[in-house]
Amino acid sequence: MTHRGSRVLHVGSLSRVEGEGALRLRVHDGTVTEARLEIYEPPRFFEAFLRGRSYTEPPDITARVCGICPVAYQMSACAAIEDACGVSVDPVIRELRRLLYCGEWIESQALHIYLLHAPDFLGRTSAIDLARTHRAEVERGLRLKKAGNSLMELLGGRAVHPVNVRLGGFHRVPAVDELRSLEEELKQALDDAWDTVRWVAGFEFPDAEVAADLLALAEPDTYAIESGTPTVLRTDGTRTSFPVRDFTEHVTETHVAHSTALHSRLDGRLHLTGSLARLAISGARLSPVALEAAVAAGLGDPRAGAVCRNPFRSILVRAVETVYAVGEALRIIRAYEPPARPYAEVPPVAGVGHGATEAPRGVLYHRYELDADGIVTSALLVPPTAQNQGAIEDDLRRLAQRALGEPDVDDGELTALCERAIRNHDPCISCSTHFLDLTVVRTAGEDAGGCDA
């Protein structure tokens, strides 16, 4: 097939991503002139209907933004509202929150590795298709995913939209024996996570490099999950950071036509958040076992400054982060002593609060304004995928352009490559979007290439 003629390719909705969305690729006389990830989420208006709600409600309400990362929403909401009210929680509560978050990381990373991403590397359409030839591997992935869910079910009540999180802590904290009951399943999960690292390390990775600044939270002594300082590694290698309360001074959103998601820039530049950014910024803070996994995965030693910018290799980073999260869960469970109280009282205070945590797919920022009675007067949610949209489009443009320079690339291959380029970033389109059709519009000269789906 030619890639210089007038041509429209219509390939149906993007699959194996969370949510539904569309991509438009416009090729003019052999050059990619436009690469757009179109976001058409039927708006659900969370930021509008949160106004007038009680300050105790956002953890439960905002969980419903995303069924894949509800804990991230609950944790960012708690962090922001506790910030507004000037409350900081007990160290044991912090650890329990981190434990719940580890459950979500394990579940979500295993979901992406095995069910969404691995089929791309092995030429399969789904994990079910993959199980026909790789049954033991798919069973291992499901077992690993289930270990994450078991953790969320025990500590949170259920895996999707846990019920046990509240401002200041938890409605009920587990007894020592309850948490310890998970130890065997997590020990198996640690073996499974290691086997996952070895398995994905054998995949073949196309060359590619994200040309965006990387943004992740950082903590001085640990790999940041449930808290941290927003930290930027720029493409020139310089590192800067800013307080969470200044988030919207740096990450600015603009509303683009034909889209219901808001596009972000970091200090006016493209940025990427998520696994690649976290490893680049906090990799040296990984546990010894996870550092070993990073080296075994071929990612280099983060302590020596190794940075991976190849989005195809993000599956390796997710596998390493899964090893880390399982190890963290075991560490927390083994050290656990129940706190004196399941939660700290959080009396309402008029003011503004900010919170940011590391959702599996990147930094999730919340901001709330409360009145003296604790009624929310304004709310702002900045999800990771909206931040990543610009970098994803930039990836698409460059990968498609390179593919067009190779001989005999047909539209099917180009489409498959574009879909992979999107999946590499584990977009959570339900956080920000709705239906998405892939349309490649190819034009030559002034000749329009056809309709846009």
Partner 1 sequence: MAPTLAVFKLASCDGCQLTLLDCEDELLALAGEVDITHFLEASSAVAPGPYDLSLVEGSVTTAEDAERIRAIRAASRHLVTIGACATAGGIQALRNFADVDEYRRVVYAHPEYVATLATSTPVSAHVDVDFELRGCPIDRRQLIEVITAFLAGRKPDVPDHSVCFECKRRGTVCVTVAHGTPCLGPVTHAGCGALCPAYHRGCFGCFGPSGSVNLPALIPLLRRDGLDEDAVERFLHTFNAAAFDKIDKE
> Is 171 an interacting residue with respect to partner 1 (CB under 8 A)?
yes
CB atoms near residue 426 (< 10 Å): 28
Q: Is 181 exposed, middle or buried (0-12, 13-18, 19+ CB in 10 A)?
A: middle
Interacting positions 7-36 with partner 1 (CB under 8 A)? 12-20
Q: Phi/psi at 297 (nearest 5 deg)?
A: -75, -10
Binding status of residue 135 toward partner 1 by CB under 8 A: yes
Nearest to 232 by CA among 261, 265, 260: 265
Least distance (Å) between residue 43 CB and partner 1: 5
**Local structure of residue 175 (DSSP, 8 states):** P
Number of amino acids touching partner 1 (CB under 8 A): 72
CB of 95 to partner 1, least distance (A): 18
Stretch that binds partner 1, among 187-195, 324-332, 395-403, 427-435 (CB under 8 A): 427-435
Interface pick for partner 1 out of 6, 8, 121, 160 (rule CB under 8 A): 160
Q: According to the binding rule CB under 8 A, does residue 175 interact with partner 1?
A: no
Which positions from 202 to 241 touch partner 1 by CB under 8 A, shown as an x/- string?
A: ----------------------------------------
282 vs 216: CA distance, rounded Å: 8
Residues 306-345 that bind partner 1 (CB under 8 A): 342
User: Under a CB-based contact definition with an 8 Å cutoff, are residues 265 and 252 in contact?
Assistant: yes
Cβ 361 to partner 1 shortest distance, Å: 13
Interface residue with partner 1, options 2, 31, 34, 139 (CB under 8 A): 139
At its nearest, how many Å lie between partner 1 and the CB of residue 323? 19
Q: Is 184 annotated as a binding residue?
A: no
Piece in contact with partner 1 (CB under 8 A), picked from 80-88, 156-164, 184-192, 221-229? 156-164
Are 379 and 59 contacting, i.e. CB atoms less than 8 angstroms apart? Answer: no
In terms of CB distance, is 109 or 231 closer to partner 1? 109
| Residue choice 1, 122, 128, 448 for contact with partner 1 (CB under 8 A) | 128
Q: Are strands 271-273 and 213-218 parallel, antiparallel or unpaired?
A: parallel
- Residue 249: count other Cβ atoms within 10 Å of its Cβ: 10
By beta-carbon proximity to partner 1, the closer residue of 302 and 362 is: 362
Distance CA 39, CA 388 (A): 12
H/E element, 398: helix 384-404
Measured CA to CA in angstroms, residue 160 lies from 63, 67, 258, 357 at distances of: 9, 6, 31, 18
143 sits near partner 1 (criterion: CB under 8 A)? yes
What's the CA gap between 146 and 103, in Å, rounded?
9
Residue 94, classed as helix, strand or coil, is helix
Among residue numbers 237 through 266, which ones bind partner 1 (CB under 8 A)? 254-260, 262
- Of the pair 213, 419, the CB lying nearest partner 1 is at 419
Q: Which is nearer to partner 1, 61 or 210 (CB)?
A: 61
| Smaller CB separation from partner 1, 225 or 429 | 429
Does the annotation flag 366 for ligand binding?
no
**Smallest distance, Å, CB 309 to partner 1?**
26
User: Which residue bears the tokens 């419903």?
Assistant: 64
What is the footprint of partner 1 within residues 38-67 (CB under 8 A)?
A: 41-49, 51, 53-54, 57, 60-61, 64-67
Minimum distance from CB of 449 to partner 1 (Å)?
Answer: 24
Contacts 24+ apart (CB under 8 A), 121-125: 121/200, 121/203, 121/204, 121/315, 122/203
Q: Where are the beta strands (DSSP E) in 154-261?
A: 165-166, 169-170, 213-218, 229-233, 239-241, 251-255
Select from 74, 76, 109, 149 the one that contacts partner 1 (CB under 8 A).
Answer: 149
Task: Give yes or no for a contact between 432 and 44, defined as CB atoms under 8 angstroms apart.
Answer: no
- Taking the complex as a whole, how short is the minimal distance between the CB of residue 46 and partner 1, in angstroms? 8
Window 66 to 125, contacts with partner 1 (CB under 8 A): 66-68, 70, 111, 115-116, 119, 125
In terms of DSSP H, where are the helices of 20-90? 46-49, 58-63, 70-85
